[in-house]
Chain A
Amino acid sequence: MTDSIGGYHQRYLRIDLSTLQSVERPIPPQVLRAYLGGSGLGTWLLLEEEAAQFDPLSPEAALAFVFSPLVGSPLTTSAKFVVLAKSPLTGRINDSLSSSHFAITGKKTGYDAIVIVGAAEQPTSVIIDDHGVRFESATQLWGQSSRVAADQLRDQIGPQYRVAAIGPAGENLVRYATISHDGRHAGRGGLGAVMGSKQLKAIAVSGEQQTGYAHPNALIAYAKDLSRKSFGPATAKYRELGTVSNLLVFNRLGTLPTRNFQSGSFESAASLAPEQLAQNRERTRTSCAACTIGCEHIFPLKSLDPNSANSGVRLEYESLFALGSLCGVSDPQVVLQAASLCDELGLDTISTGGTIAFAMECAERGLLDAPSLRFGNGAALLDTIRLVGHREGLGELLSRGSRAAAEQIGQGSEEFAPHVKGLEIPGYEPRAVQTMALGFAVGTRGADHNRSSAYQVDFSDKVDRLHVDETSVVHAIQTENEATLMDSLILCKFLRGVFDDKLAAMAEMLRLVTGWDISASELTKTADRIISAKKLFNIRAGWTPAEDTLPSRFFNEPLTNSGEASTGAILTREQLQRMIETYNLARAWTTDGWLTGELK
């Protein structure tokens, strides 16, 4: 019998879909303290499962749903979980976070994580509750959108269950398929395809098993204070406008990726402003479970399907840029319809937009026979999304992402395929936010703004974002460490502005929940350990230093048509390489990024 630790069940559930068996396994206390939860604990679990060596779509591949010490606590924005696996898009570690009641209810099943291996013989739903684990046929759900499948499953088993499910794209093994729940998505890296490869349509959770807290009264007082702060000016942007308001700012700064990263501003950006997206009807606002910020803005939608009950779509900046400026599309209704279509099919909007924008450029250059696929053609965008979701026609090629498509198209297209390690680049033009360029290059899951968060450095007075050098590395490491800890505790990054000292605040929250006397310096070491553990996974999966880079376009083509703020911006390979080497040494790795010893 182990002593209880607040916030943890100290065990995980391992389900084998090939044998339809499940077992409980303990998680040692020292592992919990070393990896915390969420992204960190999930990385440890994947290493334990030796997941790096397996094809991500093979039965042996492990898929982990991981909760955290803070989920279920009164701390605002803590209702989050992580899904991790080896990505079928990148072949590298992938952790995808999301927020909903699935996180709260999933933890109440009595486990800190649920690991799924094997593959079912037929479409299957896994049901986990206080009575144990059972398996139901999902044949009737197969082919349905995740939303419809979740509704039908809950009709069948009860409204108390929370469901995460895949849509047609996951079933069809599209390598950037999502896992969806309560209208939210674990979006990046194609973990929906991992579920699809296991013929796992849905996972439903219900339970009543709570963890205790080390200092419950102090935790409640802290949570009240944090909620009060979360209503303040640091989160006003998210609350009042949502992240779509980034688009006009980025356009003005010349950092808005446009037409497959051919420029940093979009002449029709004003047509995609929030007020244009909500013409004629008011948008509505909602929030994740247990969140006081309320950043979700739902925009009215003229549905493509007259029978659809879906009259609105949640839109974030990343979806807006990827399906708008990146594809040269200026019709706000087309962008909203494209985002809705991605949701229905279960597609990551960033990789969908990135891959189609790449195909548009290939078609315009005569490298791809697709006469209607041109920048700005909204109808072609919508048609291509459908083809991708069902892997039909051109969609078969594009369903594997821009890297694989470029490998097949050839003819120099690899130079402008917009990815790092196979993951399509988010909405930050690397030549114009050069600390972020470093973050993209060294990111363990590929081009990623959320794991690095280095754009915060570029959008501050710490650096000149167009002439960044090795001195910015220390700032990039700090933002990456903070993001790693927030993804492991787990807290929403939109809270970051409310803390005077983020590490001290995170240490205090962890102390109140677990009882650990933990310091900010210990948390820094924890972040280092988690990032090195992700690197270890990638090394075992075949990582080499050559993949820590950016597409050649960013070194060969100065930014054009990017306004006075960024036109002419250019990165050099030597400049980025110096930053990468400085980063690697600061992480206590070798100059070219290999680990130097055991994880500490």
Chain B
Amino acid sequence: MPNVRVEFFGVPRHQVGVTALDVEVQSLTLANVLLATAARLPEFGNRCLDGSRLKPGLLANINGRCFTTDSAMPLCDQDAVLILSSDVGGH
């Protein structure tokens, strides 16, 4: 089954207490990866998700390159999904 690595930074890492984990997802979309992550880490679901979407104030990044909040975004096997605070940067 396709595998995606989910990495947590900043507030999400602080909230869920985990640096990263691997999830297996049959249908590779951001929404499915987020839901699979919540199944493994209920605290992530409780604190970071509204349904299958990231809560306001959070943002996803794919492989360190592409920023998105679009839950329908298709992913590839072995992708990395970074979960970040949406206000990236600042002094």
Q: Are B63 and A564 interface neighbours, CB within 8 A?
A: yes
Known: A252-B9, A317-B91, A459-B88. 16 other contacts (CB 8 A): A234-B57, A236-B11, A237-B90, A240-B11, A245-B11, A246-B89, A249-B9, A249-B82, A254-B64, A316-B91, A318-B91, A428-B89, A449-B89, A459-B67, A461-B69, A464-B66
A345 to B54, CA, bound (A): 44
| A466: interface (CB < 8 Å) | yes
**Is B64 in contact with A233, judged by CB distance below 8 angstroms?**
no
Interface size on B, residues (CB 8 A): 27
A456 CB contact (under 8 Å) in B7, B55, B65, B89: B89
Question: Given the known A-B contacts A245-B9, A497-B57, are A461 and B68 also in contact in the complex, defined by CB atoms under 8 Å?
Answer: yes
- Is A565 within 8 A of B85, CB to CB? no
Give per-residue flags for A129-143: 1 if the beta carbon is below 8 A from chain B beta carbons, else 0: 000000000000000
Q: Is the CB of B88 within 8 A of A249?
A: yes
Q: State whether the Cβ of A223 lies closer than 8 Å to any Cβ in chain B.
A: no
* B58 touches A (CB below 8 Å): yes
Residue of chain B at shortest CB distance from A350:
B91
> Does chain B have a CB within 8 A of A566?
yes
- Tell me whether B85 and A237 are in contact (CB under 8 A): yes
Please name all residues of chain B whose beta carbon is closer than 8 Å to the beta carbon of A252 when the two chains form the complex: 7, 9, 64, 82
Q: Say whether A246 contacts B63, CB under 8 Å.
A: no
- In the assembled complex, the Cα of A240 lies from the Cα of B14 at a distance in Å of 9
CB-CB under 8 A from A397, the residues of chain B are: none
Contact-residue size bin, chain A (C-beta under 8 Å from the other chain)? 35 or more
In order of increasing CB-CB distance, the 8 nearest A-B pairs are A565-B64, A233-B57, A459-B88, A237-B85, A245-B10, A455-B89, A249-B9, A233-B56
Whether B86 sits at the interface, judged by CB under 8 Å, is yes
Contacts of B68 in A (CB 8 A): 461
Contact present for B9 and A248 (CB under 8 Å): yes
**Is the Cβ of A241 less than 8 Å from the Cβ of B58?**
no
Specify which of A232, A496, A565 is in contact with B57 (CB 8 Å cutoff): A232
Please report the C-alpha to C-alpha distance between residue A502 and residue B41 in the assembled complex, in whole angstroms: 35
Quick check: A246 and B90 within 8 Å, CB to CB?
A: yes
B61 within 8 A of A: yes
Interface residues of B in 57-91 (CB under 8 A from A): 57-58, 61, 63-70, 82, 84-91
**Closest chain B CB from A276 CB (angstroms):** 13
A-chain residues with CB within 8 Å of residue B82 when the two chains form the complex: 249, 252
Chain A residue contacts of B56, Cβ below 8 A: 232-234
B89 touches A237 (CB 8 A): no
Distance A466 CA – B65 CA, assembled complex (angstroms): 8
Give the shortest distance, in Å, between B57 (CB) and chain A (any CB): 3
Contact A237 B64 (CB under 8 A): no
Q: List 21 A-B contacts (CB under 8 A).
A: A232-B56, A233-B55, A233-B57, A235-B87, A236-B11, A237-B57, A238-B90, A241-B10, A243-B91, A245-B11, A246-B89, A248-B10, A249-B84, A317-B91, A449-B89, A460-B67, A461-B66, A461-B68, A494-B87, A497-B86, A565-B65
Is A525 on the interface with B (CB-CB < 8 A)?
A: no
A238 to B64, CA, bound (A): 22
Residue from the set B56, B82, B89 with the largest chain A CB neighbour count within 10 Å: B89
| B85–A564 CB distance below 8 A | no
Min CB distance A318 to B, Å, is 5
Which residues of chain B are within 8 angstroms of A420 by Cβ–Cβ distance? Answer: none
A429 to chain B, nearest CB (A): 12
B67–A237 touching, CB < 8 Å: no
B11 near A237 with CB under 8 A, answer yes
Among B58, B85, B86, residue most surrounded by chain A Cβ atoms (within 10 Å): B85
A215 lies within 8 A of chain B by Cβ: no
Write the chain B residue with the least CB distance to A234. B57
Contact status A564-B9, CB under 8 Å: no
List residues of A (222-272) whose CB comes within 8 Å of B's CBs: 232-238, 240-241, 243, 245-246, 248-249, 252-254
Q: Which of A475-505 contact B (CB under 8 A)?
A: 493-494, 496-497
Closest to A494 in B: B90
Q: Output the residue of B9, B55, B90 with the most chain A CB within 10 A.
A: B90
Which residue of the partner chain B has the closest CB to A563? B64
Q: In the complex, which residue of chain A has the Cβ closest to the Cβ of B58?
A: A233
**A450 close to chain B: CB less than 8 A:** yes
Q: Mark each residue of chain A from 173 to 211: 1 if its CB lies under 8 Å from any CB of chain B, else 0.
A: 000000000000000000000000000000000000000
